[in-house]
A and B are shown apart, each in its own frame.
Chain A
């Protein structure tokens, strides 16, 4: 369980990192909590790994106008601890606290997790629920923005091009006041999820999202259910959730659907107690 030979290039500037990314076989390492094991298992065989976690511009958490921006290289632990002088949405801090183990949270980063796009990971579902946008920069230094809801194309597949790198995650500052519920079912503390349910409602912003995660695909948005919950302020019945899931996820086993249904109903119950 040792990697193939590769060179490790710790970038001094984002510009250099982006440039290096433009060559074949190069890959970003941003915490290494997923790519590390994959390297050892030789599932990834890069020629060059570009380390970006030291880049200051990826480390920042700041508010500009109505927008909260979190640097891609901010660790889960920093979000968990919330010690950067900028208020983070309570949902983010709650989710960060249950990602893997503290040792992983000390190293693993927000941007790294989103770019890796493991369906069972917490951030892809959470950021979809919070309506986050990703700031993405290419080798020429051009930035674009893509909503998280469309960024993840499937399991381990994203909208990132070879020469692109996530630099920050943005969302409205007002998300800090949203009503939210999050429920994760996993075999043991720190394990990847078997099912995730998430709900975020912000009446003033007229924002409502219901998301099902750990489906073995990109997080599943249930807009009709979200609209109905926002309109009626009542939780859908277990039967309704079940039939909705059966429609969207026809391939899911009965046990998988049961877990997803439970996670979602428990997340919703945190916003709308029964």
Chain B
């Protein structure tokens, strides 16, 4: 089918987005709808002494004490040393970060609700604040959660013996790295609108989420409702990136208020709320020692990783998913013989850590890729050669790495070679020398990674999560008009899933995707799915739709065969009809026979119907691995510290490409976010834990002028373990840019003896690194 798997078809969802007719939470109109605003904590750590409501408005202003029946967000983990936090949707007794909700106010308009919020008096008694993991881990540090022994959510340890390697390695490279705290900054912020549906006896909540079925479970649990009393609808969602894959306090309080006030209530996150209370991701610190032989062959890596996870554990992914992923993924695509790693998930006075596109891997990839380049410099070899020497080669596939990750297919060194060819690495030395002769400073950098996608039951269970994904369901139905309906409990947040899962159905049912109606994200209309995260949407929902479509195709042929008066085996489904030789009946005729003219069918016809729900997961639970190498050429203006990306290439392999156009879009978007991580985005706190980057003038996101024209190359190594050989690809491109760009920057800074090990590599950090190197040199010269 020309709109099936592999077709470069434009997205089904584009028309409504381009015409402005999409429906986000903020677009919903409803009579008697009131808006909510929150009194948020102005302090990073404090005891709540008292809350005084504005007189005469007590019925519009709610504290936690008012919200009887509403429980805390308490993400559980089965890991033995885990400390659980209770995140009350409105702070109770204590506040633990700037922006934490304390009081909810409702009014006919948001402005009036904000007027009310301003009139609430909250008396706070300040407590010592932890802005860094160092102060939080100091002896006798003030505790965030009084019932804990210290400020650690969790520590993990992975250990193979490095004793011998330490003694014998020719090269030892030691580095400390850090990555800044970030906001995910989706175009559409978070939002939720709830009302009580009297007929259904059900709380209906429209929420901007990636995981409607999970939110249903979480809401029911925290509100003390039965699942049947909750319906969650994710309308159009303007970007998720992980920000919208956790249960949020506002969803709970909006739900409670709607139920108890008997009117629809909406909260729409504004940008300041997002940049403060939503500043919840990416912040890592590394201390790494890598051992190699004199050719640059990696022998072992020893690492400590601190994740600054903020005050609370998010539901359902907990405060510990990040560190677990960091420890497990640090070896990355490399063939590594020995590895020791300790991770620390540290509680600080910041918003609770939430997994962001790439989950931990943008950090570990950055740390590992800089280490590879440092090894190359130490042994005097080209970083590309050292990289290729250490990447898992195609001949070793499938390959189980040192942390037990099962790499299914591919040829990692080949991707690095292809990227090098695309960026013309061979002639770069000449280009660099020419530029240097006119006072310009160029550098080249590479970054390789694997993207574990659609990892399933066993993997999530091993991370201790209380809620583990299993089989993905999908429903596919032939409608009376001969068109097809697909229903999936997964959700599209801009990644094109509405189109790509229709392409899978199109493949089986030989219908154009314009005749395939996809419904997602409504728990009242779709079968259960844990939702869109972990690059699982296409593999899982695509797989489930494939399985259900296959079965529906079989049933269609059975009916068609009857109408054609032959056996099903003699028929073929193509071009929207069932054929027996030249004779055919269209899907419409078949559908009409089933729904409208069953009198045409024999009594012994199969009665299962034209509506199929199937469950699916890949034949392995460990995930299927996409991989790529990014390469960049940059120019560093050493007088301003500005970085200009002159060239940026991505060579990736995600198995079967379901829609090459959408895949390219995912790559551009992911790489743009990765460039934000590498060069621009940083939430800055003062020593009292006040975020100083609360507007987009302070929190710098890259814009079109800051992005290069990405060039993409692909190979296809389909996974033998997933339907159609599909691998997930949603997160990948966001993982590698920091490694490629900072390696390129460091290459350009080599003549100045300066090295960047912290991101974002802002002009300030680059100039400071140049100054520091100059000072060190001058001191050395003075000493001599």
A residues neighboring B (CB under 8 Å):
1-5, 37, 41-42, 185, 187-192, 194, 254-255, 258-259, 262
Asked whether A187 lies within 8 Å of B700 as measured between CB atoms, the reply is yes
Interface SS of chain A? loop
Q: Which residues of B contact A1 (CB under 8 A)?
A: 114, 270-273
| A194→B762 CA distance, assembly (Å) | 12
Interface centre among A188, A192, A259 (most CB of B within 10 A): A188
* Contact A3:B111 (CB < 8 A) given known A37-B695, A185-B640, A258-B767: yes
* Contact A4:B115 (CB < 8 A) given known A255-B767, A255-B768: yes
* Contact A190:B703 (CB < 8 A) given known A2-B114, A255-B768: yes
Residue in B639, B706, B768 whose CB lies within 8 Å of A189? B706
Q: Which residues of B contact A185 (CB under 8 A)?
A: 640, 642, 763
Interface SS of chain B? helix
Asked whether A41 lies within 8 Å of B680 as measured between CB atoms, the reply is no
Q: B688-718 toward A: CB 8 Å interface, digit per residue (1/0)?
A: 0000000101001011011000000000000
| A187→B695 CA distance, assembly (Å) | 15
* Contact A5:B111 (CB < 8 A) given known A255-B764, A258-B639: yes
| A194→B771 CA distance, assembly (Å) | 18
Chain A min CB distance to B679 (Å): 9
Looking at chain B, what size class is its interface with the partner chain? Answer: 20 to 34
| Nearest opposing residue in chain A for B111, CB measure | A2
Asked whether B702 lies within 8 Å of A2 as measured between CB atoms, the reply is no
Q: Which residues of A contact B115 (CB under 8 A)?
A: 4-5
Asked whether B639 lies within 8 Å of A262 as measured between CB atoms, the reply is yes
Q: A187-B680, A259-B767 known; 19 other A-B pairs, CB under 8 Å? A: A1-B270, A1-B272, A2-B109, A2-B111, A3-B111, A5-B115, A187-B700, A187-B763, A188-B680, A188-B700, A188-B702, A188-B706, A189-B705, A191-B697, A254-B771, A255-B767, A255-B768, A258-B639, A258-B640
Chain A min CB distance to B649 (Å): 23
| Nearest opposing residue in chain A for B771, CB measure | A254
| Nearest opposing residue in chain B for A266, CB measure | B639
| A5→B116 CA distance, assembly (Å) | 12
Asked whether B111 lies within 8 Å of A191 as measured between CB atoms, the reply is no
Chain A min CB distance to B494 (Å): 23
Asked whether A41 lies within 8 Å of B639 as measured between CB atoms, the reply is no
Whether a CB of chain A sits under 8 angstroms from the CB of B92 is: no
Asked whether B705 lies within 8 Å of A188 as measured between CB atoms, the reply is yes
Interface centre among A189, A191, A255, A259 (most CB of B within 10 A): A255
* Contact A191:B700 (CB < 8 A) given known A1-B272, A255-B767, A262-B639: yes
Q: Which residues of A contact B554 (CB under 8 A)?
A: none
Whether a CB of chain A sits under 8 angstroms from the CB of B388 is: no
| A239→B270 CA distance, assembly (Å) | 47
Q: Which residues of A contact B764 (CB under 8 A)?
A: 255
- A-B pairs, top 6 by smallest CB distance, nearest first, are A2-B111, A189-B705, A1-B270, A262-B639, A255-B767, A187-B700
Whether a CB of chain A sits under 8 angstroms from the CB of B432 is: no
* Contact A189:B703 (CB < 8 A) given known A41-B272, A255-B767: yes
Q: Which residues of A contact B771 (CB under 8 A)?
A: 254-255, 258
Interface positions, chain B 88-131, Cβ under 8 Å from A, are 109-111, 114-115, 118
Residue in A2, A4, A41, A259 whose CB lies within 8 Å of B640? A259
Chain A min CB distance to B678 (Å): 14
Interface positions, chain B 695-750, Cβ under 8 Å from A, are 695, 697, 700, 702-703, 705-706
Q: Which residues of A contact B272 (CB under 8 A)?
A: 1, 41
| Nearest opposing residue in chain A for B705, CB measure | A189
Chain A min CB distance to B214 (Å): 29
Q: Which residues of B contact A41 (CB under 8 A)?
A: 272, 695
B residues neighboring A (CB under 8 Å):
109-111, 114-115, 118, 270-273, 639-642, 680, 695, 697, 700, 702-703, 705-706, 762-764, 767-768, 771
| A1→B276 CA distance, assembly (Å) | 13
Chain B min CB distance to A13 (Å): 31
| A5→B114 CA distance, assembly (Å) | 11
| A194→B270 CA distance, assembly (Å) | 27
Q: Which residues of B contact A255 (CB under 8 A)?
A: 641, 763-764, 767-768, 771
Chain A min CB distance to B433 (Å): 23
Q: Which residues of A contact B680 (CB under 8 A)?
A: 187-188
| A189→B701 CA distance, assembly (Å) | 11
| Nearest opposing residue in chain B for A194, CB measure | B763
Chain B min CB distance to A105 (Å): 15
| A83→B771 CA distance, assembly (Å) | 47
| Nearest opposing residue in chain A for B770, CB measure | A258
| 18 pairs of residues in contact across A and B, judged by CB atoms under 8 Å | A1-B271, A1-B272, A1-B273, A2-B110, A41-B695, A42-B118, A187-B762, A188-B680, A188-B703, A188-B705, A189-B705, A189-B706, A191-B700, A254-B767, A254-B771, A258-B640, A259-B640, A262-B640
Chain B min CB distance to A101 (Å): 9
Chain A min CB distance to B767 (Å): 5
Q: Which residues of B contact A192 (CB under 8 A)?
A: 697
| Nearest opposing residue in chain B for A101, CB measure | B703
| A187→B679 CA distance, assembly (Å) | 10
Q: Which residues of A contact B271 (CB under 8 A)?
A: 1
| A194→B697 CA distance, assembly (Å) | 12
Chain B min CB distance to A185 (Å): 5
Q: Which residues of B contact A3 (CB under 8 A)?
A: 111
| A190→B701 CA distance, assembly (Å) | 12
Chain A min CB distance to B619 (Å): 47
| Nearest opposing residue in chain B for A259, CB measure | B640
| Nearest opposing residue in chain B for A189, CB measure | B705
| A2→B768 CA distance, assembly (Å) | 39
| A191→B115 CA distance, assembly (Å) | 31
| A15→B768 CA distance, assembly (Å) | 53
| Nearest opposing residue in chain B for A190, CB measure | B703
Q: Which residues of A contact B114 (CB under 8 A)?
A: 1-2, 42
Chain B min CB distance to A116 (Å): 14
| Nearest opposing residue in chain B for A238, CB measure | B639
Interface centre among A3, A42, A259 (most CB of B within 10 A): A259
Chain B min CB distance to A188 (Å): 5
Q: Which residues of B contact A188 (CB under 8 A)?
A: 680, 700, 702-703, 705-706
| A158→B641 CA distance, assembly (Å) | 33
Interface centre among B111, B114, B639, B702 (most CB of A within 10 A): B639
